[in-house]
Amino acid sequence: MAPGIGASGLLGVAIETTPGTYLAPTKYVPFMKETLKYDQATDWRRPIRQSPDVIGAVAGDSYIKGDIDMEALHDCVPYFLYATRNTVVKTGAGPFVYTCTPSAVAIPVKTLSITVLRNGVVFGYTGCVVGGFTFSIDKGKLMFKPEIVGRDEAVQSAPTATWPTSVPFGAGSYSLQIPTASQVFDADTFEFKVDDKAEPNFRIKNTGTGAQFIAFKEREIGIKSERDFDTRVEYDAFKALTAQSITLTATQGANVITLAAATAVKDTYEVNLDSQGDLVRTQIEYVGTLGAGNAYSVVVTTPESIV
């Protein structure tokens, strides 16, 4: 085997018109790293036949899984949101507004083809859905991490990328409101995570070893933040299981991403001291609940027109 070469690659996505049927990329996505892989549950045969060795291998069920770490670019994020357990409504006419609200469907409405070029070798993943996603702020940038579960793999020819020119949301772009409409200025960290626990369903068939479809299970919504501790008001609200709404708005001119949890209840509230003279800080974790209306929403305003 010849020596490998340095990292060189690309990642592109396309919304499939037929679930599970590969489409070449229509959007190329700059990313930090990816862990997508073809997972096959190989059955290593070891029948009793006067030998302690593995006799052979039989292909088991297979599917695609992995994460993509990327900047939350306003013109890239909506492609992945279409493959979540959301109802996506597109309004406007440049800029366009994509309003994503959670649904109860078990089977995704739309799926993605994801193409990854790794050092000149092309991998095409089909029937991909976003089983969960995380928005976070890291070094001032808004980051996005979709968790991918897919049906199968298809080898394709190498595409030629057309990269977006959009720039990330950076420091000074954010309004964090706890509760909504009351902006706070004492938070250092923020994380917004949705997990729909997507699982591959294989079924008995003669059309390959890949999953027949991907299904969603119960949803969990978690929000984390680190803030100054000023009074016991928030702490007592934690003990009383008082719900409050939380909204983070990232703005970059006409481009906006808004994350909102309508009814969040504190699950964990930690107050600790590290040293003499330190500020008293709080580590807070919320659980998003159904409450009245939608448990959460993601709204993206962008000039990107998708479907």
Q: Mind listing the pLDDT tens digit for each residue in 79-125?
A: 999 999 999 999 999 899 999 999 999 999 999 999 999 988 999 99
- Residues 283, 270: Cα–Cα separation, whole Å: 5
For residues 277-285, average pLDDT:
88
Residue 283 within a domain = yes
Residue 52 within a domain = no
Residue 49 within a domain = no
Measured CA to CA in angstroms, residue 123 lies from 6, 34, 200, 208, 259 at distances of 18, 13, 19, 17, 32
Give the per-residue pLDDT at 2: 53
Number of domains in the chain: 1
Give yes or no for a contact between 72 and 143, defined as CB atoms under 8 angstroms apart. yes
- Residues 7, 23: Cα–Cα separation, whole Å: 25
Residue 55 within a domain = no
Q: Give the position of tokens 């708005």.
A: 249
Query: What's the half-sphere exposure (Cβ side, CA atoms, 13 Å) at 118?
Result: 11
Task: Band the pLDDT of 1: cuts 50, 70, 90.
Answer: low
Print the domain residue range for 144.
Answer: 9-38+62-156+169-302
Residue 229 within a domain = yes
Give yes or no for a contact between 80 and 122, defined as CB atoms under 8 angstroms apart. no
- The answer to whether the pTM exceeds 0.85 is yes
Measured CA to CA in angstroms, residue 42 lies from 130, 202, 214 at distances of 25, 14, 20
Helices (H), 50-107: 77-81
Structure tokens at 169: 């949301």
Q: What is the pLDDT of residues 169-193, one digit of tens each?
A: 999 999 999 999 999 999 999 999 9
Give the per-residue pLDDT at 34: 97
The CA angle 27-144-61, to the nearest 5 degrees, is 75
Give yes or no for a contact between 247 and 87, defined as CB atoms under 8 angstroms apart. no
Tell me the percentage of the chain whose pLDDT exceeds 90.
84
**Residue 7 predicted with pLDDT over 80:** no
Nearest to 297 by CA among 265, 257, 237, 270: 257
Q: What is the pLDDT of residues 121-170, one digit of tens each?
A: 999 999 999 999 999 999 999 999 999 999 999 978 889 999 999 999 99
Residue 98 within a domain = yes
Give yes or no for a contact between 99 and 76, defined as CB atoms under 8 angstroms apart. no
Helices (H), the chain: 77-81, 233-239
Give the per-residue pLDDT at 4: 52
Residue 272 within a domain = yes
Task: Band the pLDDT of 3: cuts 50, 70, 90.
Answer: low
Q: Give the position of tokens 């949890």.
A: 261
Residue 3 within a domain = no
For residues 45-50, average pLDDT:
93
